Chain A
Amino acid sequence: MAEFANLFNGFATVLAFQDVNIFGTQMYLPFNVFLMVVGIVLGVIIGVLPGLGGANGVAILLPLTFSMQPTSAVILLSCIYWGALFGGAITSILFNIPGEPWSVATTFDGYPMAQQGRAGEALTAAFTSSFIGAFFAVIMITLLAPMVAAFALRFGAAEKFAVYFLAFASFVGLSKEPPFKTLAAMVIGFALATFGTDHMTGSLRLTFGSQYLLPGFDFLIAVIGLFGIGEILLTMEEGLKFKGKDAKINLRVVLDTWKKLPAYWWTYLRSCLIGCWMGITPAGATPASFMSYGIAKRVSKNGKNFGNGEIEGVIAPETAAHAAGKSALLPMLALGVPGSPTAAVLLGGLLIWGLQPGPTLFTENSEFVWGLIASMYLGNVVGLIIVLTCVPLLAAILRVPFGIIAPIILMFCAVGAYTVRNSFFDVIMMLAFGLLGYLFKKTNYPLAPLVLAMVLGDRAEEAFRQALVGSGGSLGVFFSNGLVSTIMALGFIALFWSVISAGLSRIRGTAPATAG
């Protein structure tokens, strides 16, 4: 099969030895593997620290990769993402503080286990489950992504817009936040993306005569502000105190735990499937982990004991969160529609490195795609080894008090925001987005659709306008053939379903006036 040949070429790309100059020293080493280890260690630290998550960790480091080869750059950044996924579990289990939103469900049973002195067991189960979920998702990406991409090559402008429409409509449908707030957050993202130069006509818009608005808003600034500064403000408000449990993790604990895990094969399979589904549709890792936990609680024969330290309550959310986190890259690679905020930042990276995300990536930049997919296999193994061996070290990082950590994170946010375009205005905007992020989080406006819309805004608009140009202005183009009609219809079902279900429970008789 062609996929396997490509995949082996990918492994060759990742493992290849290169002459590199690191800090002035000439070295001959497998540079991409080196980057993978650096990325995962950085990622775990980012995942463990409050205020630094996968999305803004990658956003802050993205400018440093501008001069790197795209394949090396994406390996470094995607490994930070995998590392952050692993790191979230550590704080959940030891400190009862979810380092990342997708590890909230892990605290339900993980922390009780740590309180009972079973922290090592809980951590081993969490890491192993993460590994299995991720591995399942990567195999699925290897098999499905080229097929989806080949299919998507036939898409014209109308179909492309329909895919965006479906992605964003299901956001409104699947989001646990109120649908009109999701819609508002998303449209704010689209609107922010339109500031500055219109790429199709070259004319200016929404600049209001200000030179600062000429280049528009960069989504990296928004990510750093919304997720970084916003998170620190929230943490300050909650007056976070770290009181952690000690983790004793050694080979014996790991092996004993591994002996227990095969009995939960059905939980694993179910959680993998839930995770992959939620990752491909842009619901993301957080709802996937909750859904998987909820279903496991309902069907397990130990369901009543969930919440008191049941190992299955750690397995289910961690497997699903990682399966979702990784499979979020499938639509990003094959269709150019990222399935999570971090995947959106990676997509922004592709554009900066001069690559076109979407189906053509598989034909025109096949070395890049397969290098990335191969690095996902290897990064997963490297990640598991690193987290299993470094838990005490990582728990020590968490004991550094917030009074020291917070200003250092703030400094990195400012440095990251400045380096995007060497602009002070961006640093000011970062703080503005930070305050916005704090208010939005407190008032239940979801941030993920805002960021995704900001990244995809230009492309969605271009597809929309090109389709209209082709049809001479008739909206009928979005229902002109079976394919596009089907995607649009699915999108409308997702959109209206949410409005109707909200209407049933809360607002009675309100017309869905916002179908756009």
Chain B
Amino acid sequence: MSGDGNAADQGPAHRTIELAVAAGIGIFAILVVYGALQAGIGWGFEGPKAGFFPFIMGTILIGATAMNLWHAFQGSRTKVFADWGALKQVGAVTIPIAVYIVLIPFIGIYISSAILIAYFMQRISSYGVVRTALVSIGVPLVTFFVFERWFLVALPKGPLEAMLGY
């Protein structure tokens, strides 16, 4: 949507993201109103039904979003949201976090964390193998003792911990 060629070279236009965020909120608002209507917005035996309050909130949100969309439309077309290089950095963090979260149910939080720390230290910064190994094994190990042994809080564990008897 960024009409200005110059801005598009550096990164997405701020206006585009602004409109997308407002549109996303609008969809959420419509979902809330729809769900509220399903739950009933009228007057029941115990007073207002369950959907009454969410319905009001959803309606206000639709109104506010309409205003925000309108403002966003009038916004500058040339202002850049963030340049592509910076967004790449954001992506370079978001994707590993997503993978990390997906791994947790399968191999447990401790091993996943070790992999996450090692990945960051190797890819995003460049550390030596020895230091990477020390930090990425040491931190989850300390966390393990703090949570499982001292605070007696059970965190997700995988096959390795099971082999060791936890």
Q: Which residues of chain A have a CB within 8 Å of any CB of chain B?
A: 23, 63-64, 178, 180-181, 183-184, 187-188, 190-191, 194, 198, 200-201, 203-208, 229, 232-233, 236-239, 401-404, 406-408, 410-411, 414-415, 418-419, 422, 424, 427-428, 430-431, 434-435, 438-440, 442-443, 445, 461, 464-466, 468-469, 473, 506-507, 510, 513-514, 516
Q: What residue in chain A is nearest B113 (Cβ atoms)? A: A411
Which residues of B in the span 51-95 have a Cβ within 8 Å of any Cβ on A? 51-54, 56-58, 60-61, 63-65, 67-68, 71, 81-82, 86-87, 89-90, 92-94
Are A183 and B64 interface neighbours, CB within 8 A? Answer: yes
Are A516 and B17 interface neighbours, CB within 8 A? Answer: no
Interface size for B (C-beta < 8 A) is: 71
Q: Which residues of A contact B154 (CB under 8 A)?
A: 422
- In the complex, whether B151 has a CB less than 8 A from a CB of chain A is yes
Are B36 and A461 interface neighbours, CB within 8 A? Answer: no
Are A191 and B140 interface neighbours, CB within 8 A? Answer: no
Q: Among B17, B32, B155, which residue has the most Cβ atoms of chain A within 10 A? A: B32
**A179 CB to nearest B CB, Å:** 9
A-B pairs with lowest CB-CB distance, top 10: A403-B125, A469-B47, A206-B35, A205-B39, A198-B50, A407-B120, A180-B67, A184-B64, A194-B54, A407-B117
Contacts A191-B58, A514-B63 given; does A404 touch B120 at CB 8 Å: yes
Contacts A191-B58, A194-B54, A414-B109 given; does A431 touch B21 at CB 8 Å: no
Are B56 and A516 interface neighbours, CB within 8 A? Answer: yes
Q: Which residues of B contact A461 (CB under 8 A)?
A: 53
Are A239 and B89 interface neighbours, CB within 8 A? Answer: yes
Q: Binding site of A, secondary structure by majority: helix, strand, loop or mixed?
A: helix
Contacts A201-B44, A439-B21 given; does A414 touch B101 at CB 8 Å: yes
Question: Bound complex: CA of A510 vs CA of B64, how far in Å?
Answer: 12
Are A443 and B98 interface neighbours, CB within 8 A? Answer: no
Q: Which residues of B contact A181 (CB under 8 A)?
A: 64, 68
- In the complex, whether B135 has a CB less than 8 A from a CB of chain A is yes
**A158 CB to nearest B CB, Å:** 14
Q: Which residues of chain B have a CB within 8 Å of any CB of chain A?
A: 14, 17-18, 21, 25, 28-29, 31-32, 35-36, 38-39, 43-44, 46-54, 56-58, 60-61, 63-65, 67-68, 71, 81-82, 86-87, 89-90, 92-94, 97-98, 100-101, 104-105, 109, 113, 116-117, 119-121, 124-125, 127, 135, 139-140, 143, 147, 150-151, 153-156
Q: Among A23, A187, A418, which residue has the most Cβ atoms of chain B within 10 A? A: A187
Q: What residue in chain B is nearest A234 (Cβ atoms)? A: B90
**A406 CB to nearest B CB, Å:** 6
**B46 CB to nearest A CB, Å:** 6
Number of A-B residue pairs, CB cutoff 8 Å, is 188
Q: What residue in chain B is nearest A462 (Cβ atoms)? A: B53
5 A-B residue pairs with CB within 8 Å: A403-B127, A404-B121, A414-B101, A465-B52, A516-B60
Q: What residue in chain A is nearest B68 (Cβ atoms)? A: A180
**A124 CB to nearest B CB, Å:** 34
Contacts A183-B60, A237-B82, A469-B47 given; does A205 touch B68 at CB 8 Å: no
Q: What residue in chain B is nearest A458 (Cβ atoms)? A: B53
Q: Among B38, B48, B58, which residue has the most Cβ atoms of chain A within 10 A? A: B48
Q: Which residues of B contact A63 (CB under 8 A)?
A: 153
**B92 CB to nearest A CB, Å:** 7
Q: What residue in chain A is nearest B58 (Cβ atoms)? A: A191
| A205-B38, A404-B120, A513-B63 given; 13 more Cβ-contact pairs under 8 Å | A178-B68, A200-B50, A203-B50, A204-B50, A404-B127, A410-B116, A411-B140, A411-B143, A415-B147, A424-B104, A443-B14, A469-B46, A516-B60
Q: What residue in chain B is nearest A515 (Cβ atoms)? A: B60
Contacts A418-B109, A516-B60 given; does A431 touch B121 at CB 8 Å: no
